[in-house]
Structure 1
Amino acid sequence: MSAAPEFAGKKIVMLAGPGESTDILFHALDAEFGVHRIIVETPVGQKQLLKRRAEKLGWATVMGQIAFKLLVAAPLGRSSRPRLQSLKQAHGLNDGALPEDRTIRVPSVNDPACIATLQALNPDVVVVNGTRIIAKRVLTSLSCPFINTHAGITPLYRGVHGGYWALANDDAANCGVSVHLVDAGIDTGGIIAQARIQPEPEDNFTTYPLLQLIAGLPLLKDAIRAALAGTITLQPAPEGSSRLWSHPTLAEYRANRRRNGTR
Structure 2
Amino acid sequence: MRTVLMCHADDAFDRQGLAAWLASFSDLAGLVLIEETGEQKRARIRREFQRVGPWRFLDVLAMRFYYRFRLAAADQAWTEASLAGLRARFGDVSGVPELRVSSANAPEVAAFLKTCAPDVMIARSKQLLARKIYRIPRQGCLVMHPGICPEYRNAHGCFWAMAERDLDRVGLTLLRIDAGVDTGPVYGYFTYAFDEANESHVRVQYRMVLENLDPLAQRIRDIAAGTARPLDVEGRESGVWGQPWLSRYLRWKRAALAKQPITAAAE
TM-score (norm 2): 0.82
- How far apart are 1:204 and its partner, in Å? 2.1
1:11 to 2, 24, 43: 2
Correspondence list, 1:95-244, <5 A: 99=94, 101-200=96-195, 201-237=197-233, 240-244=236-240
Task: Give the whole-Å Cα distance in 1 for the aligned partners of 2:207 and 2:106.
Answer: 32
Please tell me whether the aligned partners of residues 177 and 215 of structure 1 are also in contact (alpha carbons under 8 angstroms).
no
- Number of equivalenced pairs: 252
Look up the SS of the partner of 2:201 in the other structure. coil
Unmatched runs of 5 consecutive residues or more in structure 1:
1-9
Amino acid paired to 1:33: S
How much is the aligned-residue C-alpha RMSD, in angstroms? 2.8
Contact kept? 1:73, 1:205, Cα under 8 Å: no
User: Helix, strand or coil for the counterpart of 1:194?
Assistant: strand
1:257 aligns with 2:253: yes
Indicate conservation of the 8 Å contact 1:153/1:176, yes or no: yes
- 2: CA distance, partners of 1:198 / 1:238: 27
Q: Secondary structure of the residue that 2:181 maps to in structure 1?
A: coil
Q: How far is 1:210 from its partner?
A: 2.0
Residue 220 of structure 1: how far off its partner (Å) = 2.7
Structure 1 residues 68-123: Cα deviation after superposition (integer angstroms, max 9, x where no partner): 1112354212134555555556xx32399864752211231111111121122221
Aligned AA (2:22): L
Which of 43, 48, 51 lines up with 2:36 in the alignment? 43
* Alpha-carbon distance in structure 2 between the residues aligned to 1:110 and 1:50: 20
The letter of the residue matching 2:5 is: M
Identity of aligned residues (%): 22
Q: Is the 8 A contact 2:151 2:236 kept in 1?
A: yes
